[in-house]
Amino acid sequence: MMTGKRILLIIGGGIAAFRALELIRRLRERGAEVTPVLTAAAEQFVTPLSVSALAASKVYRDLFDLTDEAEMGHIELSRSADLIVVAPATANLMARMAGGMADDLATTLLLATDTPVMIAPAMNVRMWEHAATRRNLATLRGDGISVVGPDEGAMACGEFGAGRLAEVPDIVAAIEARFAGGPLEGRHVLVTSGPTHEPIDPVRYIANRSSGAQGTALAAALRDLGARVSFVTGPAEVPPPARVDVIRVQTAREMLEAVTDALPADAAVMAAAVADWRIENASGSKMKKEGGGAPRLDFAENPDILASVCRSEARPALVVGFAAETDDVVAHATAKRARKGCDWIVANDVSPATGIMGGSENAVTLITADGAEIWPRLTKTETARRLAERISGALT
């Protein structure tokens, strides 16, 4: 399936760079055309001559090489491939990618491209676990970049842990899977995310502390498995992921309308933190404090979007709800699953001490017809990948 596919391989600077030579050989064995790009740091570990010999191709190295620019400008080079692979992707290179920097040939190519990008990270375990690297990884995933690895094991520096470059056969398999389209190719998944804002007057509203990070990560993870994602989002703190169909809303009623319009779908993942109530007597102009005491606010119940999807004639084959609770989490979530009529509920404890609401991590319990399955505390990106894989397994 790789015959004739054009792969632009960017080799980052790290001891794992030597394994890029084996990657080139394996890709060419499968019929791929490999165009290599060496960073300046990579040249400390592998030579342009060895890379060129294995790739049977010119090696690109310098952003300001006038000959290269005359033969194939960096813009054309960045867009002439079917896939861009960065292996190894060092912590420094990932940080520059996440920051949108373009200070050498590799980062300029990555910023100027509209071609799909895959990275294979490799670095010291402490660097991999550092909060900055985790933030950069989440940003890159949200930008639509797929990630393979890293593995866990002994490192050249003498430490042990996560951060080893994925094995070459695993990288090759990930590239083949990318060209194959992924297990959810041809499937349509609806994802809701973020809070809703229910107006009190033109400048005030009722909301909640949801950042939208978990729903955004889920949309990206499902997209990476090949699904066409309709992403209905309230006014979230985090930007929506790339390469999904984004429908922005403000209120619960707007979200219900957008969700209804997005059906039918193969699955619906209802991760939005929808306000339960709205202000029935919202003012069309700013309310003034004139010494007469607080205004009276009349509350009305918002539509139940999850239940509406479950009762719809266009009900997806799999409906996943979310339950953010502060006490008796499993009991409340189990009751919610039965009451709403959804297939699964993803429950979590959002009491203030957990730091989950608005934070970067999640600790969930997946509730299905088979019972409650407790998951470990993970980043929201890792939680999303795990749930996306379960959804994929249920649909395929």
Q: Confirm or deny that 366 is annotated as ligand binding.
A: no
Per-residue pLDDT of 18-42, as tens digits, reads 999 999 999 999 999 999 999 999 9
Backbone angles phi, psi at 198, to 5 degrees: -105, 115
At which residue do the structure tokens 């909640």 appear?
208
Say how many residues make up the chain: 396
Angstrom distance (rounded) from CA 162 to CA 177: 23
Global pTM reads 0.71
pLDDT of residue 89: 95
For 275-322, how does the pLDDT look when each residue is reduced to its tens digit (9 = 90+)? 999 999 999 989 888 777 788 899 999 999 999 999 999 999 999 999
Is 276 assigned a ligand-binding role in the annotation? yes
Q: Is 175 annotated as a binding residue?
A: no
The fold adopted by the segment(s) 6-180 is: Rossmann fold (3.40.50)
Angle between helical axes of 380-395 and 131-142 (0-180°, round to 10): 40
pLDDT per position as a tens digit, 175-220: 988 887 789 988 999 999 999 999 999 999 999 888 899 999 999 8
251: left (phi over 0), alpha (psi -120 to 50) or beta: beta
Euclidean distance between CA atoms 74 and 68, whole angstroms: 8
Report CA torsion sign: 57, 61, 66, 72: positive
Residues 71-103 have pLDDT tens digits of 556 677 877 888 999 999 999 999 999 999 999
- 265, 310 Cβ separation under 8 angstroms: no
| Crossing angle for the helix pair 19-29 and 168-180, to the nearest 10 degrees | 40
Q: Is 289 annotated as a binding residue?
A: no
Other CB atoms closer than 10 Å to residue 325's CB: what's the count? Answer: 17
Q: Is 38 helix (H, G, I), strand (E, B) or coil?
A: strand
- Binning pLDDT at 50, 70 and 90, where does residue 379 land? confident
User: Binding site annotation covers 18?
Assistant: no
Q: What is the DSSP string of 236-305?
A: -SSPPPTTSEEEE-SSHHHHHHHHHHH---SEEEE--B--SEEETT--SS-----SS-SPP--EEEPP-H
Using an 8 Å Cβ cutoff, are 9 and 56 in contact? no
Reduced 3-state DSSP string for 358-390: CCCEECEEEEECCEEEECCCEEHHHHHHHHHHH
CB 305 within 8 A of CB 225: no
Phi, psi of 210 (to 5 degrees): -65, 130
Task: Give, in order, the Cα–Cα distances in Å from 40 to each of 77, 81, 104, 169.
Answer: 18, 22, 9, 26
Catalytic residue among 154, 156, 157, 338: 157
- What does the pLDDT look like over 228-248, one tens digit per residue? 999 999 999 888 887 789 999
Chain region(s) in the chain for CATH 3.40.50.1950:
6-180
Q: What is the CATH number of domain 188-283+292-395?
A: 3.40.50.10300
Please, where are the H alpha helices in the chain?
A: 19-29, 48-55, 66-71, 74-79, 91-98, 105-112, 125-129, 131-142, 168-180, 213-224, 252-262, 305-311, 329-340, 380-395
* Residue 380, annotated as binding a ligand: no
Q: How far is CA 176 from the centre of its chain?
A: 20
Residue 22 has a pLDDT of 95
Q: Are 75 and 68 in contact (CB under 8 A)?
A: no
Residue 94 has a pLDDT of: 96
Q: What does the pLDDT read at residue 244?
A: 87
Helix or strand holding residue 206 (H, E): strand 204-206
157 is catalytic: yes
305 labelled ligand-binding: yes
Across 100-109, 154-163, 346-355, the highest mean pLDDT is recorded for 100-109
Cα 123 from Cα 165, distance rounded (Å): 8
Question: Is residue 365 pLDDT above 60, yes or no?
Answer: yes
